[in-house]
Amino acid sequence: MSAENISSGKTILLGVTGSIAAYKAADLASQLVKLGHQVHVIMTGEAQEFITPLTLQTLSRQAVITRLADEKNSWQPGHIHLADSADLLLIAPATANIIAKLAHGIADDALSSIALATRAPLLIAPAMNGNMWQHPATVYNVEILSERGTHFIGPEKDGMLACGYEGAGRLWPVTGILEDVTKTLSAKK
């Protein structure tokens, strides 16, 4: 099934965390919007060190959420409304940090708070140093989330990593992530 077959008009929350692969979130957001989806980007503080919110705001055509403290326009918590309206929460790239937070119910930033509040399917595309990916703590956290129904795509098993290592840890290709989004949204019907 190709990305072109994704049924349009879904609300996708795109979480972006502090990985060098964060720049690929721009292509991902752009492709999802071209397919007719409403894309809302939630960035961690660390992600903003790699790519600016303005880039993702322009490509998604939506305001980017970076902090819950910015919600001062209404008495209603906007992040809860966003969590309720989501058809899918996609975190790409996902660091070991966000995986650990989600596995253990820690909600100390906008992304982890929204992730805990949504009942939408969760699709995680990890990207990190191979030693971090294979660390027993990360392996255990992935198992916990998988048992709860979270789907993981990647990371790639082989390749040169930004840290200079070679092996597992690279973000899955954007086209592959889009294909997994297709499958997840199709299964949700």
Looking at the annotation, which residues are catalytic? 163
- Measured CA to CA, the distance from residue 51 to residue 7 in angstroms comes to 28
| CB distance 129 to 161 below 8 Å | yes
The DSSP H or E segment spanning 41 is strand 38-43
For residue 12, the one-letter residue type is: I
Question: Vertex 79, ends 76 and 84: CA angle to 5°?
Answer: 95
- Measured CA to CA, the distance from residue 118 to residue 115 in angstroms comes to 6
User: Which residues, listed in sequence order, are joined to residue 11 by a DSSP beta bridge?
Assistant: 38
| CB distance 6 to 185 below 8 Å | yes
